Structure 1
Amino acid sequence: MTALRISEIAHGSTEYDATVELRRRWLREPLGLHFTAEELAADARSRHLAAYLADELVGCVVITPIDEQTMRMRQLIVRPDRQGQGVGTALIERAETVAREAACTRMVLHARATAIALYKRLGYRDVGEPFIEVGIPHQAMEKAIAFP
């Protein structure tokens, strides 16, 4: 397999637009959801990571500051034909590194039920009870990410 490259991309860039399309196609559209102009404008306060194999976009994740110590990871997607190849794990690990470099000590997220096992394998723990968000089961999760 070609080496995986993960890059931070700028909101509003051509690369950002490609990640929005990936998120729309695989996360939003199957649920009958669409991005609003307000949601995309709010993305400007987040950091965006994109995963590439060669020059092909295969995944992305968004991280958003919640407070001085906490980042929220959201909208993690790996193209279905590239799942199971370590792309999701690499994106999560890079997101944690970016958060640490921003002096954050905790990452929080709302995991879809289908992704809970991945997050648990990477050290995330359940917070509270499962709930329904955007019409599907989710679990709030968190992880301490301070430098060792």
Structure 2
Amino acid sequence: MLTIRTIEYGSCDYHDMVELRDKILRRPLGLTFSPEYLQQEITDVLIGGFEETKIVGCCILSPVDEQTVQLRQMAVDNTLQKTGAGSRILAFAEEQARAGGFSELMMHARREAVPFYVKNGYEVRGEEFTEVNIPHYEMFKRL
């Protein structure tokens, strides 16, 4: 059963989250995390999806301004993709954003992830752009 909760920066769960993100999002692109990059997450809302004690999905909420929060680093273990786990984690993130007083959630979505976000009520804003050497779209949802 999937349990979703926030994670404390620097905790064991956080380190497991970084490993999952590295496995799903970074290594396939030949990228790594720098200590400086990870340090920026200290004030973000860190969200993890767990099966028992094992992290199987995650995302990060980073405030952009008083109204907008950015969803970043959404990752779901390959074995759970297309099972609804990602949608459940995303719904939890939206609840956290609303509770934080935000009225819009936005993201830079990889092109292949756009259908997932559209299915969850997000819209594309603007043209395709390149980030970390792959195509992305800015997407958003009013909360």
1:99-110 → structure 2 map (5 Å cutoff): 99-110=97-108
- In the TM superposition, residue 54 of structure 1 has moved relative to its aligned partner by 2.1
Aligned equivalents of 2:53, 2:38: Cα separation in 1: 24
1:1-148 → structure 2 map (5 Å cutoff): 3-145=1-143
- In the TM superposition, residue 84 of structure 1 has moved relative to its aligned partner by 1.0
Aligned equivalents of 1:24, 1:16: Cα separation in 2: 12
Aligned equivalents of 1:37, 1:54: Cα separation in 2: 28
Q: State the one-letter code of the partner of 1:107.
A: L
Deviations 1:75-117 (A, max 9, x none): 0000001111111001110100000000000000000111100
Percent identity between matched residues is 38
- In the TM superposition, residue 73 of structure 1 has moved relative to its aligned partner by 0.1
Aligned equivalents of 1:105, 1:47: Cα separation in 2: 16
**CA RMSD, 1 decimal:** 0.7
Aligned equivalents of 1:82, 1:8: Cα separation in 2: 19
Which runs of 5 or more residues in structure 2 are unaligned? none
Aligned equivalents of 1:125, 1:82: Cα separation in 2: 24
Q: State the one-letter code of the partner of 1:123.
A: G
Question: Residue 64 of structure 2: SS of its match in structure 1?
Answer: strand
Aligned equivalents of 1:84, 1:66: Cα separation in 2: 29
Which runs of 5 or more residues in structure 1 are unaligned? none
Aligned equivalents of 1:122, 1:115: Cα separation in 2: 11
After the TM superposition, which parts of structure 1 deviate over 4 Å for at least 4 consecutive aligned residues? none
- In the TM superposition, residue 46 of structure 1 has moved relative to its aligned partner by 0.8
Give the alignment's TM-score, normalised by structure 1: 0.94
Deviations 1:121-140 (A, max 9, x none): 11111110011110111110
